[in-house]
Amino acid sequence: MRHLKKLYELLKGLLKANLVEYSDSPWASPIVIVLKKNGVDIRLCIDYKLVNAITAIMEYAMSLVDDLLTDLEAYLWFCSLDAASGFWAIMMTLRARKISAFVCPLGHFEWLRMPFGLKNASMIYQCMLDNALWGGSYSRKEVGEFSPNA
């Protein structure tokens, strides 16, 4: 593997940041190394095809872009938030950690924080984000303090 040294450095950083830990899980999805656009750095991707094939889809109604844009017409002020590595803000359950396990030439690891690529990751992240921004049972219509008509 020609990117082994870079993979080692990446995994060392993930371990130090407590994003992954060594695993004894019976699950072991393979990794895929993708070269970033700069042609130097690597991106660690995990092939969760088999895990996703047997995962039941989570039902969560995600907002449609057209609906969001229509809602924004009523507001005067806007805020943009960068949620870089946002999935990592979500802790994995013990069961999910075992299922998220991956294997590579440097060992067997499992995620302590939610990785990208799992079937329900986007829905879980959106649900948590909605909960943080709107307090659980939210309705964008109820939030009026930023409305020009409020």
CA 143 centroid distance within chain: 26
Mean pLDDT for 68-83 is: 76
Which of 86, 84, 109 is closest to 15 using CA atoms?
109
Instruction: Please give the structure tokens belonging to residue 48.
Output: 């969760």
pLDDT at 139 over 60: no
The fold of 4-142 is HIV Type 1 Reverse Transcriptase; Chain A, domain 1 (3.10.10)
pLDDT at 19 over 90: yes
Of residues 37 and 146, more confidently modeled: 37
Write out pLDDT tens, residues 42-58: 999 999 999 999 999 88
Beta bridge partners of 44: 33
